[in-house]
Amino acid sequence: GAGAGAMGRRSLENRRRYAARWGYDVILETRAVERRRPAAWSKLLGLRRHLQDFDWIAIIDVDALIMNPAVRLERLIPQGAAARGVNVVLTSDWSGPNSGVMLLRNDPWTFWFLDELYAQELFLADRVPAPGLSRRLHWPFLYEQRALHFLMDTPLWRHQGNVRYEGDAADVHRRVLELPQCAMNSYFLHPFMRRNFRGEAPLWSYAEHSQYVDGDFIIHFAGYKGSRKQRLFAAFADDAEAAFSTPDPETQ
């Protein structure tokens, strides 16, 4: 719809202004698209297509905004990443790793990782029949996020009794660096949001570690849908534009 289109345009402009500040390239991928799958899967194809041209590449979901342009991407990459075997940098929330904002290193293992995520065709089907019940969700999450939890054999994945990855999940864990969530993937939480996957506490109890505050690098409206997401995005996009209007800051 028009709202989603406006969000896409403002998201792209947000990335372009940030990249111009620090001399980064911006990639708008339109060719690496698999139309037989939901669109989110195609970001794996786009990453694979362009990673070979860079030492590191960052991907930020369209429903996220860079709010603090003073933060450079280099700040998020650990020193000696190659020697330490760090190939992917992302953040974790209360459910585990989140693929909405990631940094990936140009390395053969990273290409394998992208291919392995994409190969999980088992998770393309969202619903299966349940005896005596209406159709229900079979897997947690959606799209490539589902495959990520599978490959990393996360606690949430195990807790729900899902099929286990037969590859080396421990090696995936070693190569995927999980940063604190607000390092680059803060959420907008409402005090009455639903409980976590174990039913232990409202998600608001995670605000200290997950909630966006002024000065955070990126806000991500994960979990919101439709017009609610679009309204929130538009409000914060105005704030982001104001942040980009300030003089160039010192590197943080």
DSSP labels, 171-227: HHHHHEEEE-GGGT-EE---TTPPB-TTSSSBGGGGHHHHB--TT-SEEE-TT--HH
Where is pLDDT greater, at 195 or 185?
Answer: 185
pLDDT band at 133 (very low <50, low <70, confident <90, very high): very low
pLDDT band at 160 (very low <50, low <70, confident <90, very high): confident
Q: Do residues 109 and 64 make contact, with C-beta atoms less than 8 angstroms apart?
A: no
CB atoms within 10 A of CB 46: 19
Q: Do residues 56 and 168 make contact, with C-beta atoms less than 8 angstroms apart?
A: no
- 82-96, 205-219, 223-237: segment of lowest average pLDDT: 205-219
Planar angle of CA 196, 97, 51, nearest 5 degrees: 155
Q: Which fold has domain 2-124+135-244?
A: Spore Coat Polysaccharide Biosynthesis Protein SpsA; Chain A (3.90.550)
Per-residue pLDDT for 199 more than 50? no
Where is pLDDT greater, at 43 or 29?
Answer: 43
Residues 6+ apart with CB under 8 A from 192: 202, 204
Domain boundaries, the chain: 2-124+135-244
- 13-17, 31-35, 71-75: segment of lowest average pLDDT: 31-35
Exposed/middle/buried for residue 137 (C-beta within 10 Å: 0-12, 13-18, 19+): exposed
% of the chain beyond a pLDDT of 70: 83
Per-residue pLDDT for 249 more than 90? no
- What's the confidence (pLDDT) of residue 123? 83
Residues 6+ apart with CB under 8 A from 157: 96, 140, 149, 150
Partners of 98 in the beta sheet?
91
CB atoms within 10 A of CB 132: 5
- What's the confidence (pLDDT) of residue 29? 84
